[in-house]
Amino acid sequence: MNSSLEKEIGVRLHQQGLKLALAESCTGGLIGNRITDVPGSSEYFMGGVVAYAYEAKVSLLGVSWDTLNTRGAVSRETVLEMARGARRVLNTDIAVSVSGIAGPGGGTPEKPVGTTWIALVEKDGEWAREIHFGGNRDEIKDAAADAALQMLLDYLQGEING
């Protein structure tokens, strides 16, 4: 794991006075774990929601049943709704969400194992990326966490903007 990623994120969140929330599915809290590995992270990390089942995505984050039933949990629409929900529930400036298929089962021809969507939502913009990872379940989860943290760092460095 790249601990310098979460340290740099912490420095930038602190410098910019921003608060962060997470909504995790396939990573199962791994991103929150990495963020909280940094001493002092309670200053900028308000919390995270691990919403694995559809019911949790709906009840905890406000993801619509219509979105889940028509687009699936691993979709642009779902991760955007997850991030909006986490930002609202935890009252933060930024929220990052991730949903994917870590395998070894669960893949389809349209969404093979390794398909992952990551979103970042803030008051003035929303971004989502689809990424395909290879490897076993642990490798896919680690890669998804790395990609979500990298997307957040890119945003904080001004490389993603509205």
pLDDT tens by residue, 131-159: 999 999 999 999 999 999 999 999 999 99
* pLDDT reading at 69 higher than 70: yes
* pLDDT reading at 39 higher than 90: yes
- Quick one: pLDDT at residue 2? 56
Q: 84-95 as b/e, with b when 16 or more CB fall inside 10 Å?
A: bbbbebbebbbb
**Cβ–Cβ under 8 Å, residues 83 and 76:** no
Q: Say which DSSP state 73 is in.
A: S
Q: What is the CATH number of domain 3-156?
A: 3.90.950.20
- Quick one: pLDDT at residue 58? 98
Q: Is the pTM of this model over 0.75?
A: yes
Percent pLDDT > 70 in the chain is 97
- Quick one: pLDDT at residue 162? 52
* pLDDT reading at 3 higher than 80: no
d(CA 90, CA 35): 16
